[in-house]
Structure 1
Amino acid sequence: MRLEPVRPVQPIAPWLGGKRALSRRIGERIAEIPHTRYVEPFVGMGGVFFRRPLRPKLEVINDVNRDVVTLFRILQRHYQQLLDVLKFQLYSRADFERLRATPADQLTDLERAARFLYIQKASFGGMGRSFGIDYQRPRWSLSKLEPMLEAVHERLEDVLIECLDFGTCIERYDSRPGTLFYCDPPYWGHTDDYGKDIFSEADFGRLRRLLGGLQGHFILSLNDRPEVREMFAGFEMEEVSLHYGAGGGQRPAKELIISG
C-alpha cells in the first residue's frame, strides 16, 4: 500500500467550502491511513485532492454537479482546445451576465467548461452569483491562469472522473478493503448553498449509514454543530479551530474531522 509522491497544485477556481485552511491537516490524515484506492465523492474544485503530496495507484474524483465534472474532463482530455476558447473571453460585466444567462445544456462540453470556469473566476465569492471586482488584481487573467490549468491537466492524468450521486459513488468503489474515501459534503445548515435538491439534511443520515458499513476507511469534514456530533457519534472526531474570511472580516470557526 505504498503511496507515490506527487506535486501538489493549486485549485483553478474558488469554491464555497474549498478547504484552503484545512487542506494540509486533512492531507496529513489521509497520508496516515494505508490505502490502495482514493475516492472523493464530493470533489468540488478539489481543494483537498489537488493539494495532496501523495497518491495511490487509483484515484477517483466525483461530483453530482455536471459543470464541475465537465470542466475536469475537458481539462484532462482537451486542455489545448479549452485554452483556444478561453483566449477570446473578455473580462467584463456584460460578458459575465451574458454567460450566466446562457443555459449550460445548450452548449457543447467545451463551451460549457469554458463558461463555468469563467463564471467561477469572475464572480464574487466564486459561486457565480454576481460579478466580482478585485481592486488589487484582475479576477480574469489568462496569462496567470494558463500555468495553473496546465498543472491541473497534468495532475489529472490517469484520474478516473465520475458524475454520480454520492451514495452511488461510495457503493460502487467500496467493493473491497483498501479504499479511502474523503467526504466533503455541504455543511450542516447550508445544504442549499450548491443548489436546490442537490443535498438535504436527510442525506446526512444516508451518508452516516454508508460510512458505517464501509469495507475501507473514510475521512469526513463538516462544521462543528451539535447535530453533526450526534449524527456521527461513535466515529473518531478531531476538533479544529480556524478562521473564515479575509482581513478584518475574519471570524473564528470550528470544524470536525471525522474518521473511521
Structure 2
Amino acid sequence: MNHGLIPYVGGKHRLAHRLVEMCAVPPADTFVDVFGGSAAVTLAAGDRFGKLIYNDVDGDLVNLFRVISDPGTRQLLFRLLRWLPPSRRVFEDDYRQYVAGGFSFHAVADPIERARRTFYRHCFVFGGKVRSGGFAISTGDRDRIKEVPRYRNALRKLARIGGLFRRVVIENLHYSELIRIHGRRNDAVLFIDPPYHGSEDYYSRTFGAGDHAFLANQLATVPARVVCTYYDTPGIRSLYPPPLWRWESIAATKNSAFTKGNKVLTSEHVIIKEAFQKTSPPPVSHDYH
C-alpha cells in the first residue's frame, strides 16, 4: 500500500515498508521519523510500532497533518479542494504568498486555508522542488495528464491517512532538538531521511553542507538505534564509517523526466547504528569533506 499523501522530493513511499522492516529488527518501543516529510514511512510504521512520532521543521507540513488528523477540519479542507481544478493561476497566486512569507505559508491565519495551499503546491510543483519549482503539467502521455488523477487520488486518501494520524505524536522541531529529546532512549529507533547532498535547496527549510556533519556527529553519540538513508558518496562514507555504522544497499526505482515517466532503477543506501547503553563511551566523531 502506498501510504504517502502528497508527492514529495526524496519521498520514500515505494520503500516505506522495507525501511520499516529494517527499523523493526530488533524490536523497538518507539518509532521517531526525524525528517518526516510526506509521512509515508511514519504511516507504514504503524503496523510494527505502538508509539509513533512524526517530525518536520517545515511548519506548513506539520499544519497539514494536524488539519487532516481532525475529522471536522479535514472535511473543511476536502470541501476547499474538491472542486478546485489544476490551475497555473491558483498555483502562482499561492506562490507569491509563499515567497512573501519566507518560503512558507505561515502568514495565512486560517490553518485550513494554509493546509489547502500546502497540499496544492506539493501536488503540482515541478520535480517536488517546493522552494523554487514552477507549475508542472505533463502532456506527453497520449491518454491523460498524469497530475490530474494523482491529485484526485490524493484527495481520496485524506480520510484514511487522517485516521491513521490520530495515533501519531506530531512534532515541529529542528532535527537536533528532536534527536536530543528522543535519541536518549535505547528502546527507540530514529529514522533519518535528510536532504541528500546536492538537493538541500529543494526544500522549504534549508539544510546546509555543515548540517550533514553535525547530524552524523550527533547520531553517533545517542543511545537510540539509528536507521539512516543516503546516497553513497565519499563524503557521506567518511561521516558514517564502520564498525559503528553498518552499510546496506537496497534497490529502488524513481521516475525520470528524461524517459517520459518510465521508472529508473537506482540504489538507496541504509546506514544502521545499533542502540547502546547510556553508560557506554560515545564513539569518535568525524568531519565532513
TM-score range, shorter chain: 0.7 to 0.9
Helix, strand or coil for the counterpart of 2:27?
coil
CA deviation after TM superposition for structure 1 residue 167, in Å: 0.7
1:39-76 alpha-carbon deviations (Å, 9 max, x no partner): 01101102322234623222110001111111111111
Q: Which residue of 2 aligns with 1:160?
A: 169
Equivalent position of 2:118 in the other structure: 116
Q: Report the Cα offset of residue 84 of structure 1.
A: 2.2
Q: Which residue of 2 aligns with 1:106?
A: 107
Q: What is the deviation of 1:250?
A: 5.1
CA 1:49–1:92: 2 relative to 1, 3 Å: same
Residue range with higher mean Cα deviation, 248-257 or 144-153:
248-257
> What are structure 2's unaligned runs of at least 5 residues?
99-104, 274-289
TM-score in terms of structure 1 length:
0.87
Aligned residue number for residue 30 of structure 1: 23
Match of 1:189 in 2: 198
- Paired with 2:136 and 2:194, the residues of 1 have a C-alpha distance of 26
Deviation at residue 123 of structure 1 after TM alignment:
2.3
The change in CA–CA distance for 1:162 and 1:53 in structure 2 (over 3 A counts) is closer
Q: Distance in 2 between matches of 1:243 and 1:80?
A: 34
Letter in 2 for 1:220: C
CA distance in 2, matches of 1:56, 1:186: 25
Q: Which residue of 2 aligns with 1:89?
A: 84
**In 2, Cα distance between equivalents of 1:191 and 1:106:** 24
CA separation in 2, counterparts of 1:148 and 1:115? 17
- Aligned pair count reads 252
CA contact (8 A) 1:96 1:131 kept: yes
Secondary structure (helix, strand or coil) at the match of 1:82 reads helix
Quick one: which of 138, 145, 154 aligns to 2:154? 145
Shift of 1:98: 1.1
Tell me whether 137-146 or 233-242 shows the greater mean CA deviation.
137-146
- Counterpart among 65, 68, 82 of residue 72 in structure 1: 65
User: Does 54-63 or 108-117 show the bigger shift?
Assistant: 54-63
Assess if the C-alpha contact under 8 Å between 1:183 and 1:219 holds in 2: yes
Q: CA RMSD in A?
A: 2.2
Uncovered stretches (5+) of structure 1, i.e. residues with no partner = 1-7
Structure 1 equivalent of residue 221 of structure 2: 213
- Structure 1 residues 56 and 244 mapped into 2: Cα distance closer, same or farther (>3 Å)? closer
The answer to whether 1:131 aligns with 2:129 is no
CA distance in 2, matches of 1:191, 1:143: 29
**Cα distance change, pair 254–146 in 1 and its aligned pair in 2 (3 A):** closer
Which 10-residue stretch deviates more, 236-245 or 165-174? 236-245
Cα distance change on mapping 1:144 and 1:192 into 2, 3 Å = closer
Normalising by structure 2, report the TM-score.
Answer: 0.79
The answer on 1:13 being equivalent to 2:9 is: no
Q: Given that residues 121 and 140 in structure 1 are in contact (C-alpha distance below 8 angstroms), is that contact kept between their aligned partners in structure 2?
A: no
Shift in Å at residue 236 of structure 1? 0.6
Give the conservation status (yes or no) of the 8 Å contact 2:128–2:202: no
Q: Which residue of 2 aligns with 1:201?
A: 209
Asked if structure 2 preserves the Cα contact closer than 8 Å seen for 1:31 and 1:54, the reply is no
- Cα deviation, residue 116, structure 1: 0.8
Work out the percentage of aligned pairs sharing the same amino acid.
25
Q: 1:89 to 1:174 in 2, by over 3 A?
A: same
- Where does residue 280 of structure 2 map in the other structure? none
Q: Distance in 1 between matches of 2:167 and 2:251?
A: 35
